Structure 1
Amino acid sequence: MKTSPIEQSIDPAVAIPSFHTPETLRAHPRFSEAVACLVDGLVSLFGHDRRLRSLIEYDRGVTFMLIVCLAAGERSDRPETWLTMKRLNALLPRLCIEPGRGITDFVTSLQDEDFLTTRRSPLDARVRILQPTEKMLAADREWLQVFHAPLALLYPDGDYHGAMRQDPVYQRAYRTASLTTLEIADRIVGGNPPADYFIRESVGTRLLMVLIQEVRDAPDHRTGPGFYTRAAALGGVSRTHARNVLQGAADRGWLRSSDPPGLFIEVRDELWDSVQRWVAESVAGVDIVHGMALALQKPAQKGA
């Protein structure tokens, strides 16, 4: 029986493999290390490429990964599986993302920056089929490595090697399996208001991770002076934007700023627990898809 919110977000017809539940993960004696592992990974993720930093924002990040998923699930003999803008736009609402000018502009920017190419449909020359480039696939493999790293840390005997060595074969299996679990991401953030707030703000996830990275070893969960400046630099945004995002969280009661301002920012218990819960649920969701990906790889391995 599918009892957890994560499991309930998956189509009832889909068999769920054995996985580490959020409760199991949070009870693990090294869970705090796993949280630090994911936080550090997200702070540094795509740090080498400013154009990719916004992918940690929900709409852009999920659209980016959905493109990779749809490309992985394509069948040359089944036109309904081909990756077109029409098919992409049809699936985005399932993830609580509205198609429109913003998505079209984002896809265009991916083409301009050599993350996507297009080819004409053999059935209709007016239709363009999108195709991720190796540059886009490499960025996705970085993401997969970051989100599998906590599992590899907690369960070193588990078979997480494909993600950790950024294996393209594993990536394809994982992204193909992801097509049956599309609603997991929205279910996780939808039931977690503080996480949802940061994830949907521009570069909000990175700013939150920078904040947690700074306060996690402080008994009072407070930053040192000058945090807005440091967060802006690491997030690749202006100091004003960083301050506005964090002030929005303070207005909601999740942070407390010093008076006079600028001396410290304190992470309150609700936000601290929200981050722990988000990490546990996100990693559990990754573990579900991981199990599905391994199952997809087995027939190919037997035939090798």
Structure 2
Amino acid sequence: MSDQSLLSAFSDGRHLPEFRSVDEILAHARFNDAVIVFVDGLVGLWSHDPRLRPMLEYERAVCFMLIVCLAAVEDEARPETWLTMARLREILPQLSIAPDRPIMDFVGSLVEDDLIRLEPSPLDRRARRIVPSQRMLELDREWLSVIHAPLDCLYPNMTYEVALARDEAHHRAYRQASVQVFAVANYIMTSNPPADYFVREAVGSRIFVMLMAEAERDPEHRSDRAFLTRAAARAGASRTHVRNVLKGAAERGYLRLPEGGDNRIEAMPILIESGRRWVAECLAATDLTHRIALALLKA
């Protein structure tokens, strides 16, 4: 995806601040280091807690972040902006997520884990407003620190330290800005078939970033030995499920499964190239959102 394609996700021709382009990031001398920082950060994100681990999965991650974003742009004087279950169901399809039973069950699990509260609307007692808890906001700030760390690796002494420090004002502004770039986030995933394959599979996101982390460190782009066992443990899934996800990727030509006594997974060039571009696209989108957030803070 070119920089022009990234911007084409906006259909209204709005003015955008200058930001680090995909091509600029890919060409940076320290891009390899940034890839490692990015994938290592995602591998470790929330991995210590079995209740939080599944939130890295695409649909759950998007739903989680969408709740934080929509809550950040609420205006108490404008009830149409209030974050309700109905509003969440309305916007999820814009990010290619069906508001069906599984995702609504996930919202219910957020209540059980004290990450959100459901409160009756003062205008309609049948409607429920979604209110993120402080713990949810803290987890989201942890996420933002992970995705800004590679940019700080590439461009130190810039302004990313506010995200790394988990500054509350920047966090709110960043999530307000995120609402403006939903289309970009959706475009990044749907325009990258190898990455899209993994993130659409159950626990596929964590398998993908684990494989990328290991393949990027190996001259032959192969995983360490016993990848199945390690990935299953980190993802909280069975070895059989991990094997099936990898088998599907192999059938699409994205990787080569082990043969004989060598049990390492080989990432094919198409997957390495796709993964690296996916990282660059994510970083470009993060930088764009960060700059919009800084403008909001100055306004």
**Is TM-score (shorter-chain normalized) higher than 0.5?**
yes
Runs (4+) off by over 4 Å: none
Matched residue, 2:203: 203
Matched residue, 1:100: 100
Matched residue, 2:223: 223
- Kept in 2, the 8 Å contact 1:56–1:199? The answer is no
Matched residue, 2:74: 74
- Kept in 1, the 8 Å contact 2:73–2:81? The answer is yes
1:284 aligns with 2:277: no
Matches of 2:262 and 2:100, distance apart in 1: 39
Shift of 1:184: 1.4
Aligned length: 298
Supply the AA of the counterpart residue of 2:26.
Answer: R
Deviates more, 1:49-58 or 1:195-204: 49-58
Matched residue, 2:27: 27
Supply the AA of the counterpart residue of 2:100.
Answer: G
Shift of 1:203: 1.5
RMSD: 1.4
Shift of 1:150: 0.8
Shift of 1:35: 0.3
Describe how 1:1-304 pairs up with structure 2 within 5 A: 4-260=4-260, 263-299=263-299
Matches of 1:143 and 1:153, distance apart in 2: 16
User: In structure 2, do the counterparts of structure 1 residues 262 and 134 end up closer, same or farther at CA, with 3 Å as the change threshold?
Assistant: farther
Shift of 1:79: 0.1
Matches of 2:262 and 2:81, distance apart in 1: 52
Unaligned ranges ≥5, structure 2: none
Unaligned ranges ≥5, structure 1: 300-304
Shift of 1:262: 5.7
Shift of 1:12: 2.1
- Kept in 2, the 8 Å contact 1:72–1:172? The answer is yes
Shift of 1:40: 0.4
- Kept in 2, the 8 Å contact 1:11–1:180? The answer is no
TM-score (ref. length: structure 2): 0.96
- Kept in 2, the 8 Å contact 1:17–1:291? The answer is yes
Matches of 1:261 and 1:96, distance apart in 2: 41
Matches of 2:180 and 2:9, distance apart in 1: 10
Deviates more, 1:201-210 or 1:2-11: 2-11
